[in-house]
Structure formats: C-alpha cells, structure tokens
Amino acid sequence: MSDSRQGIVEFPCDVERLENGNTLITDAGDELGNGSEILEVSPEKEIVWRYAGTDDKPLRFAHSAKRLETGNTLIADTTNDRVIEVTPTGEIVWNTDDWGGGSGVLDDGSHLCYPNKAKLLPDGTILISDRNNDRALVVRRNGQVVWQYAGKVQHPHNPTLLANGHLLICDSDGQYIREVDRTGEIVWSYGDGTTEMLFWPRDADRLVGGNTLITDSKHHRIIEVNPEGKIVWDYSVDYWANFYDADRLANGNTLIAGQQHQEVIEVTPAGEIAWSFRNFVRPTPINEKVLNSKFEEWDDDGTPAHWYVCTRLSEGGGEFAPTTNAAGKKCPGLRYDRDGGIWLQQTRAVEPGKTYRVSGLVSTEELDGFACLQVALVDDKGGMFCDAADNPRSDLFSGDTPWSREIFSSTAPEGAVAADLRLFLTGRGRAYVDEFFCFG
C-alpha cells in the first residue's frame, strides 16, 4: 500500500468506542485488495494509531479488532485466515498461524477459514467466528477447541457470548439471529419466519434490559427488538448502506459502520448524526469514457492499461490470466478457484436519467460457477445503488463458452455519477473479455 492510501477508511467493518473516547475502526481495504488497516481515531477525527500488518504479510480484508486490557489489539485478519494479537508498537505476540507446529491447524484437525470476528473472553479463551467453516468456536490460545456451534449456521458473523453462557450469533445466509445454549438448542431467534424478515444480518448485540440490537445490512437499517420480537427502535437510510456493525454506547447513541459510503457514524436515539468519520478518496479514476476498450494497450505489469483487477472479495484466490484468441490477439482474463468474487474493472462517468448501451465479448473455460459483464452504478460517495447481484448485467456463462457478443442497457438513476464496468467471475475456472464498450 502506498503512503498516500494510509489511514483512508475504504470498507469499515468492526467499530468500537474505546474507554479513552477514541473509536477503533477495522477497515477491510479498497476494491483492489489493498489497504486493510486498524485505525484508532480521536473525537477530533485525528488518527492516533494504525496497524496494517507487516511488510511480508499485510492485513488482508481484516474484519474485527478488539482492544484488550493490556493495551494490545486482537485482530481477525480475515483473508489471511488467522487471528493475531499485536502490541501498541505493532509487534505480533500471538498468532493462530503458530498452531499445530506452524501449520495453523487446531487440535480438531481444522484450520480457520475466513474468520470475521475474534474476542477475548473473561476466562482467557477466545471466541472466533469461522465463517467459511460455518461455525463459531471457543478456543484456548494453544489451539485447543473448548466448544463450538458448527454446521447449523450458514456463513455466520459476529457471535457474542452472553452472560448466561448462551451464544448469540448472526446466520447471515440463513437471514436470522439465533441465541443457542451450550447444547446447541435454540432458545431465542429473530427473522426465522415468525418475526419480520432480515436480509443478510451481520451483527447482533444483547443490550442491558434484554433487547437485541441487530444490523440488518441489506435492509440498510439498524433495529432494536424486545424479547417478544417487536421493533422498539430503528435507524434506516434511503440509500444502499450495507451497514456492518452497530454498538450501543453508554450515552445512548449508536455507533455504526456503513460500508457503501465508507463511513462510521454515531447516531442519537432520534436518528441525528452526532459524530462521523469519513475520509475516503477513490483509489482509481473516473474516466469521461471507457478507455482501451479493445485492450490494445498494456501496462508493464502485464495488465491492460486503465483497467484494474479487484480482489477485495476474492477470499485469497484468483489471478489475472490473459489468453490469446483465434486471431492471435492478447485478451484479458481471470482465473479463480473458490466462492467469493473477482473482477476486472474500469469506471466511467454517467449522467442521471441517461441510458447506456454496454457491449462486450465474453468467453469461459472449464468454469464451474459463472461469469458475466456487469455495470455497477455508484453515487457521489462511491456507493452502489443496489446489491451487487441486482446490478445490470449480461447473460451468465459457465462451462466452456466460445466468444459470445453480449449487449445490454442500463439507465443511470438519480444521484448516479459513475458506472463500474466489470468482467465478473465466481467459482472455479476462467473467463475472458474483449471489445468492452459503453456507449451513451
């Protein structure tokens, strides 16, 4: 990461108000897969501490950071599949990579896969949300599994161990919140069909008094529900916010991480913003028109000029892999091997209300998954207007697909300033693109 990107909040995940009044922000980094950091920000919005990993192993898509009583910080370094503890000077004093004689393997034979939260418990054990292993587990520092809730949740987020010993957990793909006891029995739930539905919940906290604060991400809202499941307070916005985390503060306000607008906000019970932090600067330019549409210009690193490989959501996989077509021309491509997503992208300016015609050639090889051309329209803060799956796109391609011309249209909504043009790939296989145009 260049020095110019240091301290820029690009995709805030976990947020925490510290005892000294500062705010600890876990930033997952930019779309290119760079810049994940832990930032401590003062009430005056000055960055007073930051940690970005080491030169040989920077943080990658970190999701949570918890300040310990010792002054150290416990970090879920998500795409690096590890949890680390670092001192205020940045020294790593504990690392799950050291488990199993340096293999990172726990005593049950497993390895963490995409851990998105780690919290030190009063007895010295650590609670970890192991997302891609579909579990939450309590471990000792030596890698011994004490207890786990596994196989009954889909891509969980942000578990909390309650005072009664139960586990409160977000089943993000199942779209509900569960409270389970140590036998795994469900003793309370929200969003399971008997209450109002949730859409990708990613955080839930049990409040003093028994209510539960829920981050309902893709409904762009935070709700507080009582034990009977009634909503007693909510904060919602009229844009696609992708809220990730919400904490109720001692003053009654709520601290919220908003990923689409790259901001952390503190809102009052009346919904007014009492404090905010946003210093985002785009890592890539907005061009007036699509440049190098025929991929005739190539940079020294082997990628096409004006195009960028986006790996933030690639979960550690994927690479740029060009091909040569039947005419002997070099064409850009991507190779991928897992869930998640990787894409090739360029951003161009658009005008609200105007319809744009997108055209491109697509080819795939041995693809167990899908690839497509996609347009992600964004507002003046860089936030999308909808879920990525709902963006305008071409047909989906899988298997072995010969070069196919795709043409589709997209109308820029009110407030749109730019469009991210993408060759998107998920699954195992390869996808290629050529002659990628956007007219209008």
The enclosing domain of 350 has a CATH number of: 2.60.120.260
Q: Is residue 295 part of a domain?
A: no
pTM: 0.96
Residues 6+ apart with CB under 8 A from 30: 5, 8, 10, 11, 283, 312
φ/ψ of 218, rounded to 5, equals -85, 0
268 with 336, same domain? no
Q: Is residue 342 part of a domain?
A: yes
pLDDT at 196: 84
Confidence grade of residue 402 (pLDDT, cut at 50, 70, 90)? very high
Choose the final residue of a domain: 238, 255, 277. 277
181 with 245, same domain? yes
268 with 328, same domain? no
Confidence grade of residue 5 (pLDDT, cut at 50, 70, 90)? confident
H helix runs in 187-330, sequence order: none
Confidence grade of residue 114 (pLDDT, cut at 50, 70, 90)? very high
CB-based burial, 108-127: b 16+ in 10 Å, e otherwise:
eebbbebbbbbbbeeeebbb
140 with 260, same domain? yes
Average pLDDT of span 235-261? 97
Q: HSE, CB side, 13 Å, CA atoms: give it for residue 25.
A: 38
pLDDT digits (tens, 9 = 90+) for 179-224: 999 999 999 999 987 788 999 999 999 999 999 999 999 999 999 9
Where residue 133 sits, what CATH number does that domain have? 2.120.10.30
CA distance 233 to 212: 10
Confidence grade of residue 2 (pLDDT, cut at 50, 70, 90)? very low
**Is the pLDDT confidence value at 137 over 80?**
yes
Range of the structural domain that residue 316 is part of:
308-439
For the chain, the domain total comes to 2
Strands (E), 172-262: 176-180, 186-190, 201-206, 212-216, 221-225, 231-236, 243-248, 254-258
266 with 371, same domain? no
361 with 414, same domain? yes
The region of weakest confidence among 194-203, 300-309, 349-358, 431-440 is: 194-203
Residue 394 near residue 404 (C-beta atoms within 8 A): no
Q: Is residue 103 part of a domain?
A: yes
Q: Is residue 16 part of a domain?
A: yes
pLDDT digits (tens, 9 = 90+) for 14-72: 999 999 999 999 999 999 999 999 999 999 999 999 999 999 999 999 999 999 999 99
Q: Is residue 110 part of a domain?
A: yes
pLDDT at 3: 52
| Residue 339 burial (CB count, 10 A) | 16
Average pLDDT of span 276-302? 97
273 with 317, same domain? no
Q: Is residue 289 part of a domain?
A: no
Average pLDDT of span 391-403? 97
**Amino acid in the structure at residue 326:** A
Choose the final residue of a domain: 238, 262, 277. 277
38 with 142, same domain? yes
CA distance 311 to 410: 25
Residues 6+ apart with CB under 8 A from 222: 213, 214, 215, 216, 234, 235, 236, 243, 246, 254, 256
Going by C-alpha positions, the residue among 91, 93, 161 that lies closest to residue 129 is 161
368 with 271, same domain? no
Choose the final residue of a domain: 277, 292, 323. 277
Mean pLDDT of the chain: 97
Average pLDDT of span 315-329? 96
pLDDT at 78: 98
Q: Is residue 296 part of a domain?
A: no
**Is the pLDDT confidence value at 310 over 50?**
yes
272 with 312, same domain? no
The region of weakest confidence among 17-31, 79-93, 156-170, 184-198 is: 184-198
Q: Is residue 294 part of a domain?
A: no
Gyration radius (Cα) of the chain, Å:
22
Going by C-alpha positions, the residue among 96, 98, 74, 100 that lies closest to residue 87 is 74
Beta pairing class for 273-277 and 308-310: unpaired
59 with 18, same domain? yes
383 with 251, same domain? no
